[in-house]
Amino acid sequence: MIKNKTILNLAIFCLVLLSTIPGFAQKKENAHGTVQRIKIHSKLLEGNLSGDSADRYVSIYLPASYQSESKKSYPVVYFLHGYTDNDAKVFGFQQHWMTLPVILDSAFAKDPAHEMIVVTPDAYTLFQGSMYSNSVTTGNWEDFVARELVSYIDRHYRTLAEKESRGICGHSMGGYGAFRISEKNPDVFSAVYLLSPCCLNSADGPATAMTSQFLRADSIKTIDEFKKADFFTKALFASAAAWSPNPVNPPFYVDLPMKDGNLQPEVLHKWDANRPLNNLDQYIYNIRKLKAVAFDAGDKDKGIAESIEKLDGELNKYGIAHSFEIYDGDHINRVGKRIEEKMLQFFSKNLSFTGSKTSK
């Protein structure tokens, strides 16, 4: 008994001693990635008619080994947040239903060989979301993400600065943005993952429900009235700002689907032209240049689940390989798990971790 007690005490002493050694303590300390929130200036967002700042916050996750392995470069995944969200919510600076760095820490602790840098820009605007589209009203968000932001990250962080090591993804509005941007920029991104992507196909209007929403939007005449509006009415304004801007129509500088109680078919045509399921035929050759495409949605998220089923059918029609799943869930309740168990594994499999071109 005395011998066993002596051995136990010796083991405890050794553990305590090890914890004081710098290398041992550093390993424990570096179990979590580092999160930075910076602000960068965008020339492409300058002069937008909404008056939104061209200085944008960007949240960046640097994996646990980034500080200790100073000669290592990493793939980068751009995660685009959803409507009404921002980078601060997604990265845990503000209360939210998901904290991305916690998910990333958990995933990379299990698979340290596939650590990545993850970047989320703040796309919250006057209309509560940019739709990641180019517009004189909100600014050139599509080009900001694909060009300015990617260039900035490659200049300031140790990235594998080539498309084979670069992915893009997003949730809801961010999923829409990720597909929109990837299908137009296959020279920048090689893989795309859509989480419950909104806005893929046209609205069912002018059905009664859509007409009612259009009428509510048509009744709003001031910014203060807009701020008091319901979620869907605000989303209509965000869509208009992105897809039917009008530089001579203050105070919103948009054309809405209804004006003075009359439906505006030409506006709806503009919106339809920005729906990926409507313009997919134009980008088939670009989509074929992507190494990997994947998308999913919860079965309770009915409209979106139906739209990604249609996307699955369209890609199958053109013989484009992709991954597709409808799972048991709604718009948000399983997204965190999907990111850890599906999306990050998708990028681990399809991005290059040994690129020939490094940024620094």
Is position 148 within any domain?
yes
Q: Residues 3-20: what's their mean pLDDT?
A: 40
Mean pLDDT over the full length of the chain: 90
Same domain, 129 and 98: yes
Return the pLDDT at 202.
Answer: 82
Same domain, 280 and 345: yes
Return the pLDDT at 357.
Answer: 67
Is position 24 within any domain?
no
Q: Residues 146-168: what's their mean pLDDT?
A: 98
104-119 per-position pLDDT tens digit: 999 999 999 999 999 9
Same domain, 171 and 297: yes
For 267, residues 6+ apart whose C-beta sits below 8 A from its C-beta are 240, 244, 255, 256, 257
Which of residues 234, 250, 271 is at a domain's end? 271
Same domain, 229 and 166: no
Same domain, 266 and 164: no
Same domain, 137 and 227: no
Same domain, 286 and 166: yes
Q: pLDDT band for position 211 (50/70/90)?
A: confident
Smallest CA-to-CA distance from 61 within 104, 23, 124 is with: 104
Beta pairing class for 139-140 and 323-327? unpaired
Same domain, 288 and 263: no
CATH number for 59:
3.40.50.1820
Q: How far apart are CA 181 and CA 294, in angstroms?
A: 15
Same domain, 45 and 92: yes
Angle of the 22-29 helix axis to the 2-19 helix axis, nearest 10: 70
Smallest CA-to-CA distance from 101 within 68, 79, 75 is with: 79
Same domain, 261 and 344: no
Domain of residue 231, residue span = 208-271
What is the torsional sign of CA 303, 208, 137, 86? negative
Same domain, 174 and 90: yes
Residue 173, phi then psi, degrees to nearest 5: -55, -35
Same domain, 171 and 290: yes
Q: Residues 268-285: what's their mean pLDDT?
A: 96
Which of residues 271, 287, 307 is at a domain's end? 271
pLDDT of 29 higher than 60: no
The residue behind tokens 């084979």 is 164
55-65 per-position pLDDT tens digit: 999 999 999 99
Q: Where are the alpha helices (DSSP H) in the chain?
A: 2-19, 22-29, 87-90, 100-110, 141-143, 150-156, 173-184, 208-218, 223-227, 231-243, 265-273, 276-279, 284-289, 302-317, 335-338, 344-350
Q: Tell me what percent of the residues of the chain surpass a pLDDT of 90.
A: 86
Smallest CA-to-CA distance from 91 within 125, 46, 45, 59 is with: 59
Total domain count for the chain? Answer: 2
